[in-house]
Amino acid sequence: MESQDVPHWIALLQPIADDEWIIAHRGSEWLGLAPDLEEDLAFSSINQDKMGHAQYYYALLEELGEKTPEDMVYGRSKEQWRHAVVLETAHGDWARLVALRYFYEVFDALRLERLSTASWQPLQDGVRKIRREEAYHLQHFTTWFEMLATGTEESRHRLREAIADLWPLLGGLFLWGPSEHFLTAIGLDSLRGSELQRSWETHVAEKMRSMDLPWPGALSSPVLDGRLGEHSPDMHDLLQVMTEVRRSEPAAHW
C-alpha cells in the first residue's frame, strides 16, 4: 500500500467498523428480551458475529496506524465515533428493531459487495469471510420483516410506525464524511453514497411494494451526521454504560 493512501483506507474502514460495533452493542442489550427463546439464541449469534466483524476492521485500522481495537472501543469520545446516528438510537419495540436491522442488513450487503473488490488483499480476504455470515443476517431479518408485514393487523401497524420513525434517520447511512474523494483514490467509486443509496432504494422499494407497504418518500439528509462525529444524546448514554467498568480503574487489567 502506498503511504499516501493510508488515510484513505482509514476513512473507508472507520465508519464500517463503528457501524458494526454500535449495532452489535445495541443488539446485545436485547439478550434475554427477544420475543421467544429461539430468537434470543439466533439474534445473539448475529450480534456476536457483528462484534467479531468490528474487531476485524479495528485490527486492520491498527495496522494502518490507528489505536488498538480496545482503545478504539473504550477510549474515544463521542465526537470520535463515525457510525451513522440511526444505529445508536435507544430501543423501541421489536418492530423497530426488525425494521432497523432489515434496512441496515440490505445496506451492509451492498456495501460489502462493493468492498469485495478492494485492492488491499487483507481486506478483500476478510470481506469474503464476512459476507458468508452477513448473508444469513440479511436472510434472518428479511424473514422477520416479511413476517411482521404479513402477520397481524397489530404487527403491520407497528412495522409501519417503526418505518416512519426510522425513515428520517436512514439517509445518514450513505454518507462518508467531509468528502468522498478518497474512494476515487483507492479505486472504490462504486461505494459512493449516491450509488449505494440508489441500489438500496431499488431493493427496499421492491420489497415494500411486494409487502404492500407504502413508500415513505425520498431519504433526507440527517440532522446529525455521525460520519462527521455528530451524535445524539443516546450515544452519550451508550458510551457512559459501555465504559462504566473500564473507567472505574482505567489502568487496570480486567
Residues found near another protein in the complex (CB under 8 A): 25, 28-29, 31-38, 40-41, 44-45, 47-48, 51-52, 55, 69-70, 73-74, 94, 143, 146-152, 154-155, 158, 241-242, 244-246, 248-249, 251-254
Q: Among residues 103 and 174, whose Cβ is nearest to another protein?
A: 103
Nearer Cβ to another protein (47/197): 47
Number of Cβ within 10 Å of residue 132's Cβ equals: 8
User: Which residue shows C-alpha cell 407497504?
Assistant: 213
Strands (E), 117-198: none
User: To the nearest whole angstrom, how small is the minimum distance from the Cβ of residue 117 to another protein?
Assistant: 29
Nearer to another protein, 44 or 190 (CB): 44
Q: Which is nearer to another protein, 5 or 39 (CB)?
A: 39
Residues 6+ apart with CB under 8 A from 100: 86, 87, 162, 166
Whether 35 and 158 have beta carbons less than 8 Å apart is answered as no
Cell 448475529: give the residue: 46
Written as nine digits, the cell of 117 is: 473488490
Q: Which is nearer to another protein, 8 or 96 (CB)?
A: 96
- From CA 90, how far away is CA 27, in angstroms rounded? 10
Dihedral through CA 242, CA 161, CA 84, CA 131, nearest 10? 90
Q: How far is the CB of 235 from another protein (least distance, A)?
A: 13
Minimum CB separation of residue 178 from another protein in Å reads 29
